[in-house]
Structure 1
Amino acid sequence: MSKIFIVEDDPSIRAELTELLQNSGYETDCVTDFSRTAETILASDPDLILLDINIPYINGEEVLRTIRQKTDTPVIMVTSRTSETDEVLSMSFGADDYITKPYNPTILLLRISAILKRSVKNVQTQTYRGLEVNDAKGSLIGNGKECVLTKNEMIIFRLMLDNMGQIVNRDDLMTALWDNDEFVNDNALTVNISRLRSKLTDMGCEDAIETRKKQGYILT
């Protein structure tokens, strides 16, 4: 059972997160003394950290920078602000993902699941049809070439690779790509799939993605 450490100073939100995660099969831990946040996280040795930016004594970005000197445990930054500066700083300090409040619980769980799968699989290099999948660089390496995927292409590829041989429906792909409730043109997903399919073909993986009409896609 994976352990998720919650850094959230609002007791009601912390309780809701704890209930959500425990009901989804995760073990949880949290901090209540925010004067020693980084030390408490490191002592807990979790598998993933949900780290709010706005916490007492020290902001979450400083906590992230401190713990990154000791551990590469995956971190999802959480904030109520929508400033791009927050996202840039979080990623530059070593965050693995970033989500804003109020967040959709289903999307949060999908993000957590995807990151935990990557962290486990990255212990041993994963391959696809002889290509090395480099999540850190967002690229596929093989046959003397390296193909860099966009962030969206990598999200699509990783979700399909994690469900190899199974149909991944369009709704699941859309949810993984966009973490808001705004209307998203379905054509955008089709374009991303097309580009990914083309890049895989260029790397020698023809017919890698099968389209199942009215169902979704399969990575073969």
Structure 2
Amino acid sequence: MSEPMAGQAREPAGAGRILVVEDEPKLAALLRDYLRQAGFRVELQADGAAVVGQIRHQPPDLLLLDLMLPGSDGMEICRQVRQFSSLPIIMTTARVEEIDRLLGLELGADDYICKPYSPREVVARVKAVLRRSQPEGLAGGGLQLDALSYRAWLDGRELGLTAVEFKLLALLAGQPGRLFSRSQLMARIYPDDRTVNDRTIDSHIKKLRRKIAAIDPGAELIHSVYGVGYRFEQRSL
């Protein structure tokens, strides 16, 4: 792990923590410096084989992950992380032909950046993904979520959700318009590898829709894409 350069101020202790996985030392140092200037705490890792264990031991707030790495490539790391964590992941790649797979339903990256890129663009993307991934206090289209109490309100009326229903709604509403496959939803709602099937997610979605319709019969917040999964769309008030 790299130490701060001489004369460089250490990042504030309360800032979000970013794990940068990049095996090009100069590029990794450049990203570290720009992210620190933006107020983030930064850790560097060059060995792909060490990433999953590091995340299990001390999860970051966001993973900035290069596709081509020694030890284990970015796609395999992303797959493994998604089996136990929903932490935001931004992939970086020079292989444009892999972009569809990076954001594919079977992989679950939150965003990608093509090389060569501007470090300022990386900082902007990191901030944007972190904003989308934090639904606490979310208010929009009459919907409000409180992640501390696992309570949700629509038009000021409480929905009365179970913990699983709340997690599902928070995940979908945290990234409006993003399509999640059933397998992605299962991995993030049930990160402890318990045995569930596609119908479990469908059942929770059905109950969520019923509770939303009890408050606003015309609201279509959760949309299904046949054979693929679900996405959230805000209402226009």
Give the TM-score taking structure 1 as reference length. Answer: 0.59
Alignment of 1:1-220 (within 5 A): 1-83=15-97, 86-91=98-103, 92=105, 93-120=107-134, 122-124=135-137, 126-131=138-143, 134-136=173-175, 138=177, 143=216, 144-146=218-220, 203-205=235-237
SS across alignment from 1:6 = strand
Give CA-to-partner distance per residue, 1:23-43, whole Å, 9 cap, x none: 111000121343322212332
Whether the aligned pair in 1 keeps the contact of 2:47 and 2:70 (CA below 8 Å) is no
Question: How far is 1:89 from its partner?
Answer: 1.7
Which whole-Å CA distance do the structure 2 matches of 1:137 and 1:204 have between them?
Answer: 13
- Report the AA paired with residue 177 of structure 2: G
Letter paired with 2:91: M
Q: Return 5+ residue gaps in structure 1 as ranges.
A: 150-198, 206-220
Mark the CA change 1:27 to 1:204 in structure 2 (over 3 Å): closer, same or farther.
closer
CA distance in 2, matches of 1:34, 1:106: 25
Distance 1:131 1:20, change over 3 A: same
Give the TM-score normalised by structure 2.
0.56
Identity of aligned residues (%): 33
Q: CA deviation at 1:20?
A: 0.8
Confirm or deny: 8 A CA contact 1:6 1:29 kept in the other structure: yes
CA RMSD, aligned part only?
2.7
Structure 2 CA distance for partners of 1:80 and 1:98, relative to 1, 3 Å: same
Q: Secondary structure at the match of 1:46?
A: coil
Q: How many angstroms apart in 1 are the aligned matches of 2:114 and 2:37?
A: 22
Report the secondary structure of 2:108's partner residue: coil
Asked whether the equivalents of residues 34 and 57 of structure 1 are also in contact (C-alpha less than 8 Å), the reply is: yes
The amino acid that maps onto 1:8 is E
CA contact (8 A) 1:74 1:115 kept: yes
Number of positions where the alignment pairs a residue of Structure 1 with one of Structure 2 = 149
* Larger relative helix fraction: 1
**Which residue identity lines up with residue 37 of structure 1 in the other structure?**
V
- Alignment gaps of 5+ in structure 2: 1-14, 145-171, 179-211, 224-232
Q: Is the 8 A contact 2:67 2:91 kept in 1?
A: yes
Map Cα deviations across residues 6-63 of structure 1 (whole Å, 9 max, x no partner).
0001111111111111111100012134332221233231000000000012210000
Residues 138, 148 of structure 1: 8 Å contact kept: no
